[in-house]
Structures are given as C-alpha cells and as structure tokens.
Amino acid sequence: MIDKVYCADVTPEMEGKKVKLAGWVYRKREVGKKVFIVLRDSSGIVQVVFSKDLNEEAYREAKKVGIESSVIIEGTVKADPRAPTGAEVQGEKLQIIQNVDFFPITKDASDEFLLDVRHLHLRSPKVAAIMKVKGTLMQAAREWLLQDGWYEVFPPILVTGAVEGGATLFKLKYFDRYAYLSQSAQLYLEAAIFGLEKVWSLTPSFRAEKSRTRRHLTEFWHLELEAAWMDLWDIMKVEEELVSYMVQRTLELRKKEIELYRKDDIKTLKNAVPPFPRISYDEAIDILQSKGVNIEWGEDMGADEERVLTEEFESPFFVYGYPKHIKAFYMKEDPEDPRKVLAADMLAPEGYGEIIGGSQREDDYDKLVQRILEEGMKPEDYEWYLDLRKYGSVPHSGFGLGLERLVAWVLKLDHVRWATLFPRTPSRLYP
C-alpha cells in the first residue's frame, strides 16, 4: 500500500511538510507557467500547483494529464487561504499511473446517461458522499442494535413463498422446480425469535414492482427486526429509538456530506427524536379529506396521499391501525376492531412518506390459516411458517426499513435510485 497522506488531511498547520498523495485528477487549469491540479481521493480534494520555474519535469508531466487520470504526487504543503481547503501542495514530482485523454462524464450529462455510466459516476464526490451516509446509517444501526441486545442473523434469499403478495415476486428456475427472490426476510426472522428472541437482518429484498415511482426499486436493502413478546406499541418504540439514533449519529459523523445535499436545512433531521407523532389511519383519512384529497376510508394511501399527509409533520411519524383488507396476511387482527390490523407505518416528512412497514403478527394458528385462505393463498405452501404457531407460539412483532428510502429522506434525494450503488428498476438492470 502506498504510504500516502489523504487529501482532506492536508492542512495549513502542515506548512513546509513533504507529502505523498495518490488519487485522480478532479480539476485542472493552466495559468501562465503554472498548472493547478485539484486532486481527488476518497477523503476529498486538495489543490496541487506545478510551476515550470520550480520543477520543470513535474510541470511537463502535469501539463500532460487529463481529467480522471490516476497519479501519485509528491510535494510540499503551503498554507494558502485562497486554496479550496486553506492549504495546497507545491508539486515536486508527478507519476502518471494512467493518463485519461477523455472522461465521458461532462457537466451537462443527463440523469439517464449518469445511470448508464454509473460505474464511472460512483467516483464523483457527491455520489461518494451518498454512499458514506448510507454506510454510516448502517454503522449507527449496528451500534444501537448491539447495545440493545439484538442478534444479527442471515436469512435465505432463495425462498418458496410470498410475504408481501404474489404480484411482486421474481420467479427463477431452481433445478427441477422454481424458487423466488426474497421480498422480505420476515418469515425467517419469525422462526429465529424462538431461540434468539430479538433478531435483525440486513438483506437485499426484491420486488417485481411495475410502478415507476421515485421511491420504488426492484432490489433494495432491507433492515428488518423481529422480537418475541413485543406488541405493536413496543415495536413502534423500537423503531423510533433505532431511527432516531441512526439519524442523529449520522448527523454527527457525516455533517459535511449531509450539508452537501441539505445545506443548513436539517431541522427535520434534528426533530427525529422520540417520541415520534402517532396518528391513526382514521385520523390520516380525516386529515387528507380535510385537505381536499379524494380518498375514502378503506382505501390505501399511495405516494401522493402520503406526500400530502407529510405536510402536517416536521419529523418522522407513525400511522397505525390500517384496514385489514389492504394489509398483509400475517398481520394480527385488532381485537378491538376486526376491520383493522395491528400495523403501523413510519412516514418520513418532506414528502418522502413510508420508510418503515411493521406490525404485530398473527400468533394464533387457526386465525392465520383463515387469513391465508382469505388472501387466496394455500396453507400447505406455508406449512413451516404455520408450525411456528403450533409449538410454543408467542405474541411477536417486527418491521422492515427500506434503507434507500431513509437515505433519500436524509439527503433529500429526488429518487431512491441515487441511494444505491447500482440501481435496479423495471427499466434498468445494467451496469
């Protein structure tokens, strides 16, 4: 490994220090007998100046390099308030690792083109910032889950049944039969709680969604928790504590990257502290109707309706108590109102809407069989899952958080596709 100094670590206090840098040419301009190169690496940027009078050989090499050329540079640090980071490097040696005559990404590139060359666009500091924030959100999640006593488990991705409806299953040939790509690890997490009680997993989930919205991917990263003995209200507390910790910790560790996207508009992030507001589905319908939205009780809220609802809040909030017929088979019927289930979604403000879907699960064998039949599914396809209700069944609850949706809200991205390394949508499978 090259014994290098990272660009962001070059500070005015290092005046006079000799440094070795390795990175890519981010910007370049020539003024008189000087070449100014802004070098980029994973930490950020630093300006390097090559002067013909000071070192003609290095100057000549600097004149040759094109944007995104990979280079190793040696030089001396000089404090300079005019430099982008308050300090620059006087270039004394430049080794060209690979020169690039033409880099295909230009300032006027369209979103679709940037997605076509996603493998080249990932290196841009603004895209790298998204990936740093996504990684830090998960680092924070792991910190919280560990201290709160949750066990990480690793569920299967090749499965035989639907969790969230058969319409969005990806089917694939599996030797002499068929399998599906997992829509959610939930059913397997439910099996794990009988030994571990509080479990979590981060897995890719797959949805053959035909809807082309700014919040749907066909492959997304799914953070899911499941806990024995918890009811809906217990798991909602877990959700708000986890999300709050993830957001506040990421604000602390990734302030620079968040400011790149939000500038100083971080009020809703700071507001993400428990308790989050809670409204019932009934109240949500009343609010929407009072705002002129054409929706009746019993109808599902889509992205548009949720967007209007989020206008009422300046932090994440819960909607609970949805009608049974618009929710999944595994959700427990509300004992106080058989029209409803003990389900809650967490919605992000600023128009982002649903980031978490969760519920208390039906733990009664006969009721679950009845729900499976009501949904037109076959109990025999869920025999193992029904077994969990035959051998020491317990009240239990859980939820799934869409990581890209959380990132999209935290950075106010205009589409979840920007929140994933290589987005997968109905029209995009390459690169």
Ligand X SMILES: NC(=O)C[C@H]([NH3+])C(=O)NS(=O)(=O)OC[C@H]1O[C@@H](n2cnc3c(N)ncnc32)[C@H](O)[C@@H]1O
CB of 353 to ligand X, least distance (A): 9
224: partner contacted, choices ligand X, Mg ion, none (Cβ within 5-8 A by kind): ligand X
The verdict on 46 binding ligand X (CB under 6 A) reads no
Is 384 in a helix, a strand, or coil?
helix
The verdict on 404 binding ligand X (CB under 6 A) reads yes
CA distance 19 to 156: 48
Judged by CB under 5 A, which stretch of 71-79, 89-97, 224-232, 352-360 contacts Mg ion? 352-360
CA distance 291 to 192: 44
The verdict on 357 binding Mg ion (CB under 5 A) reads yes
CB of 109 within 8 A of CB of 126? no
Among 143, 144, 132, smallest CA distance to 253 is for 132
Question: Which residues within the stretch 220-239 sit at the binding site for ligand X (CB under 6 A)?
Answer: 220, 222, 224
Specify the pairing of strand 317-320 against strand 343-348.
antiparallel
CB of 327 to Mg ion, least distance (A): 9
Q: Following DSSP, what letter does each residue of 297-329 receive, concatenated?
A: TTPPP-HHHHHHHHTT-SS-EEEE--BGGGS-T
CB of 209 to ligand X, least distance (A): 5
- Which x/- pattern over 163-182 shows residues binding ligand X (rule: CB under 6 A)? xx------------------
Q: What is the DSSP letter of 257?
A: H
Q: How is residue 155 written in tokens?
A: 């569920």
Task: Tell me phi and psi for residue 257, to 5 degrees.
Answer: -70, -35
CB of 227 to Mg ion, least distance (A): 19
How many residues lie near Mg ion (CB under 5 A)? 1
Is 382 in a helix, a strand, or coil?
helix
CA distance 206 to 204: 7
The verdict on 155 binding ligand X (CB under 6 A) reads no
How many residues lie near ligand X (CB under 6 A)? 23
Residue closer to ligand X (CB basis): 333 or 354:
354
The verdict on 184 binding ligand X (CB under 6 A) reads yes
CB of 180 to ligand X, least distance (A): 14
Dihedral sign for Cα 230, 236, 239, 241, please: negative
Among 23, 321, 400, 423, binds ligand X (CB under 6 A): 400
Residue closer to Mg ion (CB basis): 118 or 215:
215
Give residues in contact with Mg ion (CB under 5 A). 357
Give residues in contact with ligand X (CB under 6 A). 163-164, 184, 186, 207, 209, 216-217, 220, 222, 224, 354-358, 398-400, 402, 404-405, 416
